[in-house]
Amino acid sequence: MATYKEIKGVTVQTKDSDPVVNVGSWSAGGNLNSARFNNAGNGSQTAALAIGGSPPPVSGYVEQYNGSSWTEIADLNSGRANSEAGGTTTAGIYFAGFPASGLTELWNGSAWTESGDLNTARGYLAGEGSTTACFAVGGYTPGGDQALVESFNGSTWTETTDLNTARRNLESVGTTTAHLAFAGKVTNVTGATESWNGSSWTEVADLNLARHQLGGAGTSTAALAYAGATSPTSGSYAQTENWNGSAWTEVADVATARSTAAASGTTSTAAMYAGGTTDGGSDAPGVALTEEFSFPPPTSAILTEGDIFLSRGTTFKGFGKAAGIPSGSWGSAANLNTGRGDGIYGFGTTSLAGIAGGDDGTPGDSWVANTEIYNGSSWSEQSDLNTARYFAIGSGGTTTAAIGVAGRTTTNVANTETWNGSAWTEVTDINTTRRGVLSNQPPAAQTQILVYSGYSTTRHTNTESWDGSSWTELSDLNTARYTGGDGGAGPSDALCAGGQPDSPGVVCEFWDGTSWTEGADLNTKRIEGAASAGASTSAIYGGGNNPGGTGLDTVEYYNGSSWTEIADLADGGNGASHHIGTAHDTFFAGGITPSTPNSASASTEHFTADNALGDITLS
């Protein structure tokens, strides 16, 4: 087992005063004189340039910021967009662009002068540095995404070591000797992060939220990543993440979600984002908005998730989301396009999620094949399942790699389908045909999942594992059941809670990789609940109905030893989405209200629990 030092890189420390929560805040700055997107920025929060972009058409406009307002100054020699910039308001550099350009211009505080071109003309790239030491990273040419990196010495560009992952629409910060490149788009958006040490690129921890066309500020060891665009549908993010040299942590959101704006900031404590577009489309109108970011004072000790320390020599304290679960809350999110319940495939996170299948609530047996993807603000229709069904299960995964198993049409089915981000493909059927099955939520949904319980002509105890190509029978559950709750985070971690039979209906079992063991019971007997997410030591389960058919809005959280009732849903229902997000950040999407027959809901509710600082009891 890894020690705390191996995980966090430090031993447990004694603190004379408690560190502060490093969330920061965004505030409104002065608007640009010319609304635009696909523009670039350089400088600091109080002295910056916003350069080029698309009004449309492409522009050579340049504006200078003094900390409160923008002033138009000398235009570029060549107007363009999707370029990059570095330097300051008195010594700046602007280079590349799309259609593919290698053009470089230098700014001396009063005029732009053309300098040596990039070796490879491109656009949609990243870059950062000064007029005498600057990087151009990744990008796109008519030949495709690029991993190319070039270094500028004041007059010429020289090719250096490529990125590990070719991509476009990425962001980077730092110098030519210590650089950080993150996010972007390959086939789909990515959160991949790479660190440069002066000679080679090393893959490090990914962003929590994959995205492209985002902003960034800071250095290779202390950076911000903010806003950006979604994929595959148009739309923008507001999320901001802070890089501490080893991991990304979510902090305060920008007020207006957008992408392709001018990002500035030499530190991770003072950044700026000016212009951009709010819908992520290449022909979208630009905005003139400017937002400025501030952190607590740089001398403050900062809390990050997972921190443990001895406070003032007397009390052990920890910082994390588990401590905040009781104060979590449900809030409304965008409605589905198709109301549905009674078993929905769910996958992804609450900022990039997918659902498929379910019962649309029409009289008699009814089922749908509809697939919808959530981009952080709205749901959009995608390619249908090959086999429409309900009382099925999806098993975690992402919006580019998910799996759906079994269910019911006019009869129970064994069909298994995998999702690649654009289409469903039928693969090997599960061994035991059934409906009302449950599954875990592994890190690799298409190569390592468990499916268990269910119903055909009888309730099942069967457990099967999927290795990416075939199903294998494993040890059975102790209690046969279906339409219960589930969770778990890997091949050796699963949870099966409640469900039918009507009695006991509260029994929970836990999978350790070889067998099922009964554990702590639910507080409320229920069937057809959902919103079950997370590991077997941190799970959430809500909604559904009791065996008498009364709808439930109660929600319970499992901490590894017991279930505790937490904040209620606004609108409980049967068979809403499973396996979206974590126990601290999850969706309850869709559902059918037992008290109103044939009423399939399109509502989505979002549960969030903030990190909290709490005492740790040692035993």
- DSSP assignment string, 281-341: -TTPPPB--EEEEE-S-TTS-EE-TT-EEEETTTEEEEEESGGGGGG-EEEEEPPPSS--B
Task: Check if the beta carbon of residue 498 is closer than 8 Å to that of residue 541.
Answer: yes
Q: Which residues of the chain have pLDDT under 70?
A: 1-10, 22, 231-234, 280-284, 297-300, 322-326, 364-365, 443-445, 502-504, 547-549, 594-598, 617-619
> pLDDT (tens digit, 9 = 90+) per residue, 585-601?
888 888 887 656 557 88
Name the segment(s) of the chain with CATH classification 2.120.10.80. Answer: 20-304, 324-330+339-615
pLDDT at residue number 234: 61
Cα Rg of the chain (Å, integer) = 26
The token pair that represents 484 in the structure block: 């219960």
DSSP-based three-state secondary structure for 541: strand
E strands, 502-591, where?
508-511, 516-518, 530-535, 538-542, 555-558, 563-566, 581-582, 585-589
The structural architecture, per CATH, of the domain 324-330+339-615 is 6 Propeller (2.120)
* Gap between the Cα atoms of 369 and 7, Å rounded: 43
Q: Residue 299 burial (CB < 10 Å; 0-12/13-18/19+)? A: exposed
d(CA 599, CA 362): 8
Q: Provide the pLDDT for residue 427.
A: 95
pLDDT of residue 597: 57
Neighbours of 375 (CB within 10 A): 22
Q: Does CATH place domain 20-304 in 2.120.10.80?
A: yes
What is the rounded distance in angstroms from the CA atom of residue 556 to the CA atom of residue 564? 5
Rounded Cα distance between 287 and 10, Å, is 44
Phi, psi dihedrals of residue 75, rounded to the nearest 5°? -70, 160
Confidence (pTM): 0.61
DSSP for residue 228? -
Closest CA to 465 of 477, 443, 450, 475: 450
Whose CA is closest to 407, among 379, 381, 438, 378? 438
**Long-range CB contacts for residues 300-304, cutoff 8 Å, separation at least 24:** 300/19, 300/20, 300/22, 301/15, 301/17, 301/19, 301/20, 302/19, 302/20, 302/21, 302/22, 302/244, 303/19, 303/20, 303/21, 303/22, 303/611, 303/613, 304/22, 304/244, 304/247, 304/249
- What's the pLDDT at 548? 67
* Beta-carbon-side half-sphere exposure of residue 579 (alpha carbons within 13 Å): 36
Helix, coil or strand: residue 4:
helix
Q: What does the alpha-carbon distance between residue 142 and residue 149 come to, in Å, rounded to a whole number?
A: 17
The whole-angstrom separation of Cα 441 and Cα 429 is: 19
DSSP count for the chain of H helices, then E strands: 1, 56
Q: Is the dihedral of CA 71, 77, 79, 80 positive or negative?
A: negative
The DSSP string of 388-435 is: -BBS-EE---BTTBEEEEEEESSSEEEEEEEE-SS-EEEEPPPSS--B
3-state secondary structure of 211: strand
